[in-house]
Homo-oligomer: A and B are copies of this chain.
Amino acid sequence: MATANRRSSISSRERILAAARELFAARGFKGTTTASIARRARLNEALIFRHFPAKKDLFTAILREKLEDERLARIIDAAECRSMPVEDAFRLVAERFAEAFDPVFLRLYYHSALEDHALADAFYDQFVSRFVALVEQLIVRGIRECRFRNVDASVAARAFTGMLRSYFLTNELFPRHALRGDPKEISLGFCDLFLNGVTRRRPARVNGKGRRWMP
């Protein structure tokens, strides 16, 4: 510790948080030692306990930061969506989702969900379920405006958000199998599939009746 002497406690607090965020994300709560956090933050382990009464409080502080993230709040703010055609609203929502995606937090989030941490539930309440609800409202509106079929809105909302969530989760956890391409474009591809499905519309030249067409 030749140099490091004159450092404000604010910056050391930030350094502890940053180091802890990365380590908790990579190894989970139990898998991360306070000694390793101190090592990565390049400061003494005892300092951690000056700033946070216990290891678990450090963990909750990190999740809480996200709970107060304004960028995330913007995604579930439906205001702008109301004034545009539903189809465009879907595209906007998908793009926003791709923008807000944070791989470090994703890992933290699933770690804490699996470890049954109360804050993961809080995060779900505050963001995920409201995001699903926003999508559901859009679908209901689409049906009312006769643009959408009369589908089950809650199932459809899960389907749409599921495509997005699963895509980002898999890309992060299994990078070897990640889908190549710009995440925003792929998210827009999901929009197209969600809106139109894969089935071909009535073909230009009808050469059969019912559901049986020739290949």
Q: Which residues of A contact B (CB under 8 A)?
A: 26-28, 30-31, 85, 87, 107, 110-111, 113-116, 120-121, 124, 128-129, 139, 142, 144-149, 151-152, 154-156, 158-159, 161-167, 169-170, 173-174, 176-177, 179, 181, 186, 189-190, 192-203, 211, 213-215
Q: Is the CB of B159 within 8 A of A193?
A: yes
Q: Is the CB of B148 within 8 A of A198?
A: yes
Which 3 pairs, one residue from A and one from B, show the smallest C-beta to C-beta distance? A197-B197, A162-B166, A30-B30
For residue A151, which residues in chain B have a CB less than 8 angstroms away from its CB?
A: 189, 192-193, 198
| Chain multiplicity (copies) | 2
Q: Is the CB of B200 within 8 A of A121?
A: no
How many Å from the CB of A27 to the closest CB on chain B?
7
Q: Is the CB of A158 within 8 A of B147?
A: no
A139–B200 Cα distance when bound, in Å, is 12
Known: A148-B200, A197-B196, A199-B148. A190 touches B159 (CB 8 A): yes
Question: Which of B26, B129, B198, B215 sits near A195, CB closer than 8 Å?
Answer: B198
